[in-house]
């Protein structure tokens, strides 16, 4: 068994042991099995990554078995390990292991947890399939698998109706995006005759000119894949499932909605970068969509009071940054932000979980306040996560966010507008994160007497993983220091060089993307960086000062003065209500009509009518079957007499 097989098999084995074989009532045993499986997968991924990165070509294909052979379609069960998939393996298994450890403490009040940990392990396995598949179909198995697991985990506490509905909403909205994925797969095979990523990449990288038909097909494939990415990575207009997904346990929020599943769309677009470079019009759509999503979600987060909902809309916003980075050709910058975001957003979600755990599962920030006195360790690491996400210089979010903004500014025509909205979004991010921090940890505690009396620091099994994530949130950004800073302090951009073998531009696309290679003034980049940092510091200052007295003071005055705007944002632009009235309710009413008319009257009526007809006909003929032997003998004799009379006449 090689390193890849072990990386894939350990989480699957953990899911099978917990979910099908052991089904142990012992919460400790369930967690040990799950955590051990994830850690073994992490160490296997480390060795696998080292093995591949020291390989002279920087990639390795593992052919495990033949799979589909139908006419000209040949799809083997093959896996591709290169710098991009290696990075994703380490993120999924590394951060996943920390979340598994944390979950043991967070779920300690549950009667049993074997089902929960089985779902977590199964999710990790499906995510590993998604990022290691060498062709579209294996990626699609993982793509659908994480959708199924997200449904199971979000609706884990299905006894409450809202949790079950949140899981179903996530499942159905993602199916809309999956339709785009499937049509893109069909069109890819029709146009190129293969579904292998390496074969497609070789075809396009070596093509100096493309026919109009091929250009149109590539553009449509990219557009359909963007629809798929909007579902998984929660972009407009399919973002609505992610905030509701906060109904699941907090470790689920950290694993699915921070570090792994929601980044699948960004990973997929980066994997297909050789397609997207050949569709510049679609890239513009990608960039604009990401920018609008980032700003849109950030404005909603400004006024939310549920601590997890703030982080949920923050996730949507940060995913918008990643998508915008990909759209302007900065796939490396987008993936770099994926890495830093995985660290600091997992930290923030788990930190919020510690707060919720200490507050006896209360999530309203208006009932918190002053918690740094009660939760000193959680407060310290949470503050580092806040500084990382808002992009304070020196923290990881600063390096990745400003790299995206710089790439966006250089994009032709609309670049300055993308930069402006991105910078404004950064200011909003700083405001709502300092609002969250201040309402939660500063000022006087606003909880009731009983809750206040029982607030205490979470156990080491919960704050221990937070400390590791805090360390990563502070220092992981130094692997991708932008050139303008790196030249000054003598630190190269390791991350950019790391992804070079993966992100290659086809010859046919070079003319449209020449600006990526143009050299720009360092003075301009410093100016833009300083401007965006100023917006961040201003937003942070306003967020802290508006809410340092809790929900009172300046924040209350502004809420009353701009009551309509506040209500509009609190109700999230009424998007859910719009979908409910335009799509959900009409579909439900049509379904009710079809059920009552076609199902009950026509289908059931026809089937029941046939049954009743048979019952009547059998009843009419049943008089012959009386069960009396004498009667049968009389009819037998009469039949014989009639038969003889017919032949003897």
Q: Which two structure tokens, joined as six digits, stand for 51?
A: 């093995």
Q: Which two structure tokens, joined as six digits, stand for 324?
A: 């915008």
Q: Return the residue matching tokens 């099908």.
A: 20
Q: How far apart are CA 48 and CA 3, in angstroms?
A: 5
pLDDT tens for 349-393 read 999 999 999 998 999 999 999 999 999 999 999 999 999 999 999
**pLDDT band of 520, cuts 50, 70, 90:** confident
Domain that holds residue 463: 135-570
Size of the chain in residues? 649
* Residues 523 and 597 grouped into a single domain: no
Q: How far apart are CA 239 and CA 228, in angstroms?
A: 12
Query: Quick check: 353 and 447 in contact, CB under 8 A?
Result: no
Query: Quick check: 249 and 156 in contact, CB under 8 A?
Result: yes
Backbone angles phi, psi at 367, to 5 degrees: -105, 15
**pLDDT band of 53, cuts 50, 70, 90:** confident
pLDDT tens for 88-136 read 999 999 999 999 999 999 999 998 999 999 999 999 999 999 999 999 9
Strand partners, 62: 79
pLDDT number for residue 649: 60
* Residues 36 and 147 grouped into a single domain: no
> Based on the structure, what is the number of domains in the chain?
3
* Residues 586 and 469 grouped into a single domain: no
Residue 395: which region, alpha, beta or left (left: phi > 0; alpha: psi -120 to 50)? beta
* Residues 140 and 115 grouped into a single domain: no
Please list the helix, strand and coil fractions of the chain in percent, rounded to the nearest 5, in that order.
Answer: 75, 5, 20
Q: Return the residue matching tokens 């790196």.
A: 486
Percent of the chain with pLDDT over 70: 98
pLDDT tens for 594-614 read 888 888 888 888 888 888 888
Query: Quick check: 238 and 170 in contact, CB under 8 A?
Result: no
CB atoms within 10 A of CB 151: 22
pLDDT number for residue 56: 63
Q: Return the residue matching tokens 């994925």.
A: 181
pLDDT number for residue 549: 84
* Residues 162 and 109 grouped into a single domain: no
* Residues 34 and 121 grouped into a single domain: yes
* Residues 302 and 333 grouped into a single domain: yes
Whether the link from the prior residue into 83 is cis, omega within 30° of 0, is: no
Backbone angles phi, psi at 570, to 5 degrees: -60, -35
- The full DSSP string for 276-288 is HTT-HHHHHHHHH
pLDDT tens for 206-231 read 888 889 999 999 999 999 999 999 99
Backbone angles phi, psi at 295, to 5 degrees: -70, -45
Geometric angle at alpha carbon 344, from 536 and 101, rounded to 5°: 160
pLDDT number for residue 624: 59
* Residues 147 and 130 grouped into a single domain: no
**Residue 623 reports pLDDT greater than 60:** no
Mean pLDDT is highest, among 180-194, 481-495, 501-515, for: 180-194
pLDDT number for residue 516: 84
* Residues 51 and 144 grouped into a single domain: no
* Residues 13 and 24 grouped into a single domain: yes
Strand partners, 8: none
User: Given 522, 550, 570, which residue is the final one in a domain?
Assistant: 570
* Residues 243 and 145 grouped into a single domain: yes
Residue 588: which region, alpha, beta or left (left: phi > 0; alpha: psi -120 to 50)? alpha
CB neighbour list of residue 463: distance below 8 Å, 6 or more residues apart: 354, 377, 378, 381, 457
Q: How far apart are CA 423 and CA 440, in angstroms?
A: 26
User: Given 91, 113, 134, which residue is the final one in a domain?
Assistant: 134
- The full DSSP string for 586-606 is HHHHHHHHHIIIIIIIIIHHH
Three-state secondary structure call for residue 149: helix
Query: Do strands 60-70 and 73-81 pair parallel, antiparallel, or not at all (unpaired)?
Result: antiparallel
Convert 172-193 to b/e letters by CB count within 10 Å (16 or more is b): ebbeebbebbebbbeebbebbe
Residue among 11, 40, 42, 45 nearest 117 (CA): 11
Task: Taking residues 540-562, report their average pLDDT.
Answer: 87
User: Given 110, 134, 158, which residue is the final one in a domain?
Assistant: 134
* Residues 565 and 587 grouped into a single domain: no
């Amino acid at each position: 068994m090689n390193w890849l097989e072990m990386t894939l098999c350990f989480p699957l084995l953990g899911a099978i042991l917990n979910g099908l074989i052991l089904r142990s009532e012992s919460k400790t045993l369930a967690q040990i099995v799950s955590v051990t499986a994830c850690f073994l997968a992490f160490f296997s991924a480390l060795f696998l990554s080292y093995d591949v990165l020291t390989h002279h070509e920087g990639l390795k294909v593992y052919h495990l078995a033949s799979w589909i052979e139908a006419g000209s379609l040949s799809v083997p069960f093959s896996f591709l390990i290169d710098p991009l998939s290696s990075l994703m393996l380490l993120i999924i298994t590394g951060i996943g292991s920390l979340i598994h450890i944390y979950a043991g403490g967070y779920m300690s009040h549950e009667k049993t947890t074997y089902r929960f940990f089985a779902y977590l392990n199964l999710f990790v396995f499906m995510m590993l399939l998604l990022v290691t598949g060498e062709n579209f179909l294996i990626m699609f198995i993982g793509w659908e698998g994480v959708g199924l697991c997200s449904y199971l985990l979000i609706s884990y506490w299905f006894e409450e109706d809202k949790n079950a509905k949140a899981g179903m909403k996530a499942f159905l909205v993602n199916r809309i995006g999956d339709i785009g994925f499937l049509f893109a797969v069909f069109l890819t095979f029709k146009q190129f005759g293969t579904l292998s990523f390496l074969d497609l990449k070789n075809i396009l990288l070596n093509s100096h000119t493309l026919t109009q038909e091929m250009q149109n097909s590539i553009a449509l494939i990219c557009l359909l894949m963007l629809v798929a990415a909007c579902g998984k990575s929660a972009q407009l207009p399919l973002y609505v499932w992610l905030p509701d997904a906060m109904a699941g346990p907090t470790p689920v929020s950290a694993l699915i909605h921070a570090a792994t599943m929601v980044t699948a769309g960004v990973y997929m677009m980066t994997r297909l970068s050789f397609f997207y470079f050949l569709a510049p019009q679609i890239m513009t759509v990608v960039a604009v969509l990401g920018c609008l999503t980032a700003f849109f979600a950030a404005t909603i987060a400004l006024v939310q009071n549920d601590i997890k909902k703030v982080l949920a809309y923050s996730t949507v916003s940060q995913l918008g940054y990643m998508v915008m980075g990909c759209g302007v050709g900065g796939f490396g910058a987008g993936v770099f932000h994926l890495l830093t975001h995985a660290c600091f957003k997992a930290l923030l979600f788990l930190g919020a979980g510690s707060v919720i755990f200490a507050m006896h599962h209360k999530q309203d920030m208006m009932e918190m306040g002053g918690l740094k006195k009660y939760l000193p360790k959680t407060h310290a690491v949470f503050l580092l996560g806040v500084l990382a996400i808002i992009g304070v210089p020196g923290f990881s979010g600063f390096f990745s966010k400003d790299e995206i903004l710089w790439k966006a500014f250089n994009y032709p025509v609309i670049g300055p507008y993308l930069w402006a909205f991105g910078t404004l979004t950064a200011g909003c991010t700083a405001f709502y994160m300092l609002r969250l921090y201040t309402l939660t940890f500063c000022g006087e505690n606003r909880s009731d007497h009983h809750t206040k009396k029982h607030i205490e620091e979470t156990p080491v099994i919960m704050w221990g993983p937070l400390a590791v994530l805090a360390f990563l949130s502070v220092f992981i950004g130094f692997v991708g220091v932008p050139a303008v800073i790196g030249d000054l302090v003598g630190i190269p951009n390791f991350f950019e060089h790391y992804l070079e073998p993966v992100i290659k531009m086809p010859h046919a696309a070079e003319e449209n993307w020449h600006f990526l290679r143009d050299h720009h003034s360092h003075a301009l980049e410093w100016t833009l960086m300083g401007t965006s940092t100023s917006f961040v510091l201003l937003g942070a200052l306003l967020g802290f000062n508006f809410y340092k007295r809790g929900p009172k003071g300046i924040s209350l005055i502004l809420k009353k003065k701009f009551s309509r705007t506040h209500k509009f944002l609190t109700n999230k632009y009424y998007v859910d209500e719009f979908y409910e009235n335009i799509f959900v309710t009409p579909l439900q009413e049509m379904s009710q009509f079809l059920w009552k008319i076609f199902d009950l009257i026509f289908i059931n009526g026809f089937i029941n009518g046939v049954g009743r007809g048979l019952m009547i006909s059998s009843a009419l003929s049943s008089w012959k079957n009386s069960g009396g032997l004498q009667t049968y003998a009389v009819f037998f004799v009469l039949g014989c007499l009639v038969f003889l009379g017919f032949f003897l006449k």
